[in-house]
Structure 1
Amino acid sequence: MGTLAINTEGVDSDIYLALGLKELGKGPIGTPRILSLLSSLLEKSVQKNEMQSETTNMKDNVAIFHGLRAPTISIQQYIDRIFKYAGCSPSCFLVAYIYVDRFVQQTDVHLTSLNVHRLLITSVMIAAKFIDDACFNNAYYARVGGVSTAELNRLEMKFLFSLDFRLQVNVNTFQRYCSQLQKESLEGHQIERPIRACGIKESWPNKSDTQCAPTIAR
């Protein structure tokens, strides 16, 4: 699948290839490096937050994403599963990561093993709707993510309203996240706070420049 909202021609080609964001052509299908890198960063963030929660009273400000127990599937396995069955472009995972970063900054949510899986399936689905030429509906993503369609509908609406439906990712932002992720992988930097692995703060685009996600599937 191609991408509509991001023109990746402006992204440094070496970094783009190193992260595995290039579209796969004919030949053996490989796993984009971006998947293992993002899962590693998310795992570190979750571990850091859960260690801090043992000594401080960290509250989840958006309880709808908070599960009663942690899923048995790891973050890496979950991301691999989404990539395998959702058929979305590798760029969706980086855009989803940007969305989660925005969500964390807007809501001050701390990533934990109880909410990270729901945030992942929701953000990847929204990213696929926004930037890919075609994507599956909510019911299909719900089966892939191991949640009900009704629950995923609620998660999507909460996520979108938390971001004020501002889903546009310009090429400069995409480039910065690519560069920072590549830098993190080379230098092994630790995450300073929930998800903000890239330490990137960006100004919101004008509402006139934004687009809303497609209607929720029923």
Structure 2
Amino acid sequence: MESPERVELPAAFEDADVDVLVQLIADMMERVMAHNDQIPLSPESLTRFHSRTAPGISILDYLRRIVRFTKAERACLLITLHYIDQISARMPAFVLSSLTCHRFVIAAICVSSKCLCDAFCSNSVYAKVGGIPVAELNVLEREFLRIIDWNLTCTGEVLQEYYVNLVRQFSKGGYVISDAQSYSSLSSDSDMDTEFSPTSSPAPTPQPVMQTLHPHSSGNVPSTSRREPSTFLIDTATLAPEAPQPPTLEQNMAFAALQQEHAQELESESDMDTAR
């Protein structure tokens, strides 16, 4: 059987086709989610980004929908991975799963577009595209900014590193970066194998795939020489799966309480908007 034809991608992420970039990002997110979905949900792990059930649209189609209707730029898509690493480091309770991914992604792209782009959509547009009420997106946006402490940017080298590793770890194969020598410092196999190999754990349940790449210190972006293991720069295929467990009564009660508190906040915000 013949091996599939390999498609050459541009050396720089800025030149990559947007849909190819979406495929790469969605592929990695799906693998991380598949692992994290097997971790039993605990009441203390609930966050604003949790939904009661997983959305009926895949993250690939969700990202394509966002790109189609908001014209999200390449940097805004890639930096979403950086945000996940940063927030996972700041908020250990957050885990990228089928219950959190979609809401996190729409909030992240909404925020990154405002930060990185000269032109961007209103929250009402992002909310409609994301399939959530605008008041809910406002709450998610505030929570996102609070957790990440307004550290919304990173260097182009960091985004390029995500791009190189997404191509290398694409589960379907078939993509290769042209002129790889130009980015040897980013894509050296020996360098990556040494710094980004996941470590095994004796714990009886899978551990969340959520480490930081570039933790901020006093608002400054540290040198790449100080980088640490990252969610998206490791091979998730090496993580041992375990059968998922249904939520307990305590978890369901905690989730219901969180949802009720969230609903009260949305109602309060709606009343304030009406009063204005």
**TM-score with structure 2 length normalisation?**
0.59
Distance verdict in 2 for CA 1:166–1:62, change over 3 Å: farther
What is the distance in 1 between the residues matched to 2:53 and 2:217? 37
Q: How far apart are 1:175 and its partner, in Å?
A: 2.5
Between the two proteins, the alignment pairs up a number of residues equal to 183
Q: Which has the larger radius of gyration?
A: 2
Name the structure 1 match of 2:213.
201
Correspondence for 1:96 among 63, 80, 85: 80
The sequence identity of aligned pairs, in percent, is 26
Q: How far apart are 1:206 and its partner, in Å?
A: 3.8
Q: How far apart are 1:60 and its partner, in Å?
A: 5.7
Which residue identity lines up with residue 99 of structure 1 in the other structure?
Answer: Y
Q: How far apart are 1:202 and its partner, in Å?
A: 1.3
**TM-score with structure 1 length normalisation?**
0.73
CA contact (8 A) 2:18 2:74 kept: no
Secondary structure class of the residue paired with 1:185: coil
Structure 1: unaligned runs, 5 residues or longer? 1-12, 24-29, 210-217
Name the structure 2 match of 1:129.
114
Name the structure 1 match of 2:160.
175
Q: Does 1:34 align with 2:36?
A: no
Q: How far apart are 1:185 and its partner, in Å?
A: 2.4
CA contact (8 A) 1:60 1:110 kept: no
Q: Does 1:61 align with 2:48?
A: no
Tell me the C-alpha RMSD between the 2 structures.
Answer: 2.8
What is the distance in 2 between the residues matched to 1:36 and 1:71? 18
Structure 2: unaligned runs, 5 residues or longer? 1-8, 174-192, 199-206, 222-272
CA contact (8 A) 1:60 1:66 kept: no
Which residue identity lines up with residue 33 of structure 1 in the other structure?
Answer: V
Q: How far apart are 1:146 and its partner, in Å?
A: 0.4
Q: How far apart are 1:61 and its partner, in Å?
A: 3.1
What is the distance in 1 between the residues matched to 2:64 and 2:70? 10
**Deviation by residue 1:93-135 (Cα, 9 ceiling, x = unmatched):** 0012211221122112112211110000000111111111110
**Deviation by residue 1:119-159 (Cα, 9 ceiling, x = unmatched):** 00000111111111110011110000000111000001101
Distance verdict in 2 for CA 1:206–1:170, change over 3 Å: farther
Name the structure 2 match of 1:43.
30
CA contact (8 A) 1:32 1:90 kept: no
Q: How far apart are 1:172 and its partner, in Å?
A: 2.7
Off by >4 Å, runs of 4+ in structure 1: 57-60, 186-189, 191-196
Q: Does 1:150 align with 2:138?
A: no
CA contact (8 A) 1:75 1:117 kept: yes
